[in-house]
């Protein structure tokens, strides 16, 4: 077993441990019946709107892959891109280590459609960059417009938080500038990256930001059913939760997201709203994506067997002739 594999599994174990501890701390004061009643108290209309926001987010996530496919100059159709993206991310975001799990699934599909390993790696990389750019953009907006909540959680002055926000926005602008003017690969230490075109870079910023804005709206919607929650505060909680998830590597942010949101929002984040958000944004897509992946795999195998059969038949006909 390589050192990298040991490190990966070690991070996964630590993440699971942190997730279990944080889930216990978040839910320990509530019985199962209280949690169920808290979820039932959320009006159906709020759950339906939250589902729409989640759907919009996963639609944006297909745009991450679309940008990556165009980045490698491939003309694969959007329906295929959307299928690969949804299956990979609906599963990857729930099981954790999304870059590895969703990357493996992407490779399975894109390789089947004729892409090589290098192109798939570039698609996964650009998708990861889009995640970072989208989160940086939303973080910058939130910290500039609502520094108070972030300052209280991070134990920093509001001026420092605003400065961080401006820095995030400046980093995004710098990325666009590189895309517009860099003609040679950008090199940072041993890492080399060929910048996308300005058109693709702008698409990354727009799609990435809208995606995380929709996830924040989904979170706000389930909380707004029982409390007067502003969108900016809900988005602040989501941004800070994602920063904590990056540090802990908890699978699907399990426990970390709930604990951070609860810490930022206080009683405004009911236990039921946290459970509802987890179910809507993670569990429902996962339980759609998993059987869909099995169906697609069965279709791939059937087509492969059919082609092998046709090839064998043609060979026999040629030999008999």
pLDDT bracket for residue 4 (50, 70, 90): very low
Q: Where are the domains of the chain?
A: 44-297
Report the pLDDT averaged over residues 9-13.
50
Residue 291: is its pLDDT beyond 70? yes
Answer positive or negative: Cα dihedral of 43, 47, 50, 56. Answer: negative
Contact by Cβ (8 Å): 67, 200: yes
Q: What are phi and psi of 254, to 5 degrees?
A: -60, 125
pLDDT of 32 higher than 50: yes
Confidence of residue 108 (pLDDT cuts 50, 70, 90): confident
Q: Is 192 helix (H, G, I), strand (E, B) or coil?
A: strand
For residue 51, how far is the Cα from the chain centroid? Answer: 16
As a whole number of angstroms, the distance between CA 107 and CA 319 comes to: 37
* Segments in the chain forming alpha helices (H): 3-27, 32-40, 44-71, 78-95, 98-112, 117-145, 147-154, 158-181, 198-224, 231-248, 256-265, 271-278, 284-320
CB 186 within 8 A of CB 193: yes
Structure confidence at residue 110 as a pLDDT band (50, 70, 90): very high
Are the C-beta atoms of 171 and 208 separated by less than 8 Å?
no
Mean pLDDT: which of 1-5, 66-70, 120-124 is highest? 66-70
The structure's pTM equals 0.84
CA atoms within 13 A on the CB side of 14: 11
Phi first, then psi, for residue 26 (nearest 5°) are -75, -40
User: Which residues are CB-contacts of 215 (< 8 A; sequence separation ≥ 6)?
Assistant: 53, 54, 57, 238, 281
Is the pLDDT higher at 193 or at 301? 301
Backbone angles phi, psi at 191, to 5 degrees: -95, 125
């Amino acid at each position: 077993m390589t050192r990298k594999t040991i490190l990966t599994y070690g991070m996964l174990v630590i993440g699971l441990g942190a997730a279990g501890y944080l889930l216990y701390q978040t839910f320990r004061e509530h019985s199962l019946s209280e949690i169920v009643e808290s979820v039932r108290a959320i009006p159906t209309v709020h759950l339906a709107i939250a589902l729409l926001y989640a759907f919009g987010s996963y639609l944006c996530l297909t745009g991450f892959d679309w940008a990556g496919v165009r980045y490698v100059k491939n003309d694969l159709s959007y329906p295929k891109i959307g299928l690969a993206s949804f299956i990979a991310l609906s599963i990857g975001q729930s099981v954790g280590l999304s870059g590895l799990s969703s990357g493996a699934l992407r490779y399975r599909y894109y390789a089947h459609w004729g892409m090589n390993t290098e192109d798939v790696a570039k698609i996964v990389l650009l998708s990861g960059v889009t995640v970072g750019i989208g989160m940086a953009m939303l973080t910058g907006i939130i910290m500039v417009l609502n520094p108070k909540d972030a300052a209280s959680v991070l134990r920093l002055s509001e001026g420092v938080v605003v400065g961080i926000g401006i820095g995030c926005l400046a980093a995004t602008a710098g990325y666009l500038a590189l895309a517009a003017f860099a003609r040679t690969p950008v090199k940072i230490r041993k890492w080399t990256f060929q910048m996308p075109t300005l058109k693709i870079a702008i698409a990354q910023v727009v799609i990435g930001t809208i995606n995380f804005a929709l996830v924040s709206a989904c979170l706000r919607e389930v909380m707004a059913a029982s409390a007067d929650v502003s969108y900016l505060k809900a988005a602040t909680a989501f941004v800070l939760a994602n920063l904590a998830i990056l540090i802990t590597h908890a699978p699907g942010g399990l426990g970390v997201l709930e604990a951070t949101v609860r810490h930022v929002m206080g009683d405004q984040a009911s236990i039921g709203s946290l459970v509802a958000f987890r179910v809507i944004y993670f569990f429902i897509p996962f339980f759609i994506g998993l059987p869909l992946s099995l169906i697609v795999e069965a279709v791939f195998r059937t087509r492969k067997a059919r082609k092998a059969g046709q090839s064998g038949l043609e060979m026999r006909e040629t030999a008999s002739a």
